[in-house]
Structure 1
Amino acid sequence: MQKSRSNSNPYPNSTNHDLYSKRNVWSGVLFGIGAVAFMDEAVFHQLLHWHHFYDKSTTNVGLISDGLFHAFSWFATIGGLFMYADLRRRSALYRARWWGGLLLGAGSFQLYDGLIQHKLMRIHQIRYVDNVILYDMIWNILAACLILIGLILVYRTRSSQETGKVYSNVH
């Protein structure tokens, strides 16, 4: 027996939005973490040679740590993309909400890297120069901007259960 179109594709239905609202954010967050971690590793570790993921040992240990970091970023990216594909298949992808999650994930990872890994744990610096504070400020301010824009997008696209409103998100 074939399902009717209305049962198989409840896309504009607010219940569908409520059900998959958080999944849209989490898919974006995972993809954002993975994408920024990948860019960090490719640009700052490999192309510019500014640092390794772990700089408190030999170059070989630094390279191994870069490989593990790269694997982490790859798994986060792929996990986010699998969730994205599932949301599309279910006609439950809300792009603005997903982008909000992406920016939240990207900014959160970057801020974690800049504050925890660079300053608190001191496992590496952005760049080993005398005026590293300038690099740190740019890195962390950019991270805070990404988080702020992501929060705004997530807030503006919150579900009807959270706002008490019912609306359609046809894209």
Structure 2
Amino acid sequence: MATNSEDRHFPTAAGILLGLGLGGFFDGIVLHQILQWHHMATSAGYPADSLENLKLNTLLDGLFHASTYIFTAVGLLILWRTARKPHFWWSPKLLFATILMGFGIFNVVEGIVDHHLLGLHHVNETVPQDQWIYWDVAFLIWGAAMLIGGWLLWKQGKREARAEARYISN
């Protein structure tokens, strides 16, 4: 029994949520914990220069990690639920593309909101303050490049999926 090509879809939302989660984990683990360039509220009046401020920032970092964990768990749940269906079409290219898009979305949104609009923290607060903008802009460019690259790869993967569906139905 052939499946209708409209029924064969890849769960784009799953990959984007996984990318959002992985982007958050990268930011929190690498920038907050390993490099210690910033914490959640270090530019919002709570620099990590006292035990009290460090405790608050650690709590906020933990809540941030909890939210990225939720993105990742929901993405995995959607992927798992879809993969259990008989019409599921697996595409490593679409999975990678959507994860890349989600990671890029994370960087762009987090960079615009936290770094520029709210000023909660900046990418690298270990350099002189007049250099923070360069790191913040580079973070946005990196995110935009991932988002655009993922979107282009996604479009290519969708074209290939349509071509394969036509081949299978003939």
Q: Deviations over 1:46-104 (max 9, x none)?
A: 11111111222322211111010010111111111122222322233333222222111
Match of 2:100 among 89, 92, 103: 103
Structure 1 unaligned segments of length 5 or more: list them: 1-5
What is the one-letter code of the residue matched to 1:106?
Answer: F
Say whether the 8 Å CA contact 1:126–1:136 is kept in structure 2.
yes
Measure the CA separation in 2 of the matches of 1:30 and 1:74. 10
Q: Residue 122 of structure 2: SS of its match in structure 1?
A: coil
The answer to whether the Cα contact below 8 Å between 1:87 and 1:93 also exists between their aligned partners in 2 is no
Partner Cα separation in structure 2 for residue 81 and residue 138 of structure 1 = 30
Count the aligned residue pairs.
Answer: 154
Deviation larger for 92-101 or 136-145: 92-101
**Match of residue 152 from structure 1:** 152
Query: Residue 35 of structure 2 aligns to which amino acid in structure 1?
Result: L
Shift of 1:116: 1.5
1:114 to 107, 111, 114: 111
Which residue of 2 is the match for residue 54 of structure 1?
Answer: 41
State the one-letter code of the partner of 1:110. N
Please state if 1:44 is matched with 2:43: no
1:26 matched residue in structure 2: 13
Q: Is the 8 A contact 1:27 1:83 kept in 2?
A: yes
The share of aligned pairs that are identical, in percent, is: 26
SS at match of 1:157: helix
Comparing 86-95 and 74-83, the one that deviates more: 86-95
RMSD of Structure 2 on Structure 1 (CA) = 2.5
Match of 1:81 in 2: 76
SS of alignment partner, residue 124 of structure 1: coil
Unpaired stretches in structure 2, ≥5 consecutive residues: 47-52
**Corresponding residue for 2:67?**
72
- Structure 1 residues 122, 15: closer, same or farther in 2, change over 3 A? same
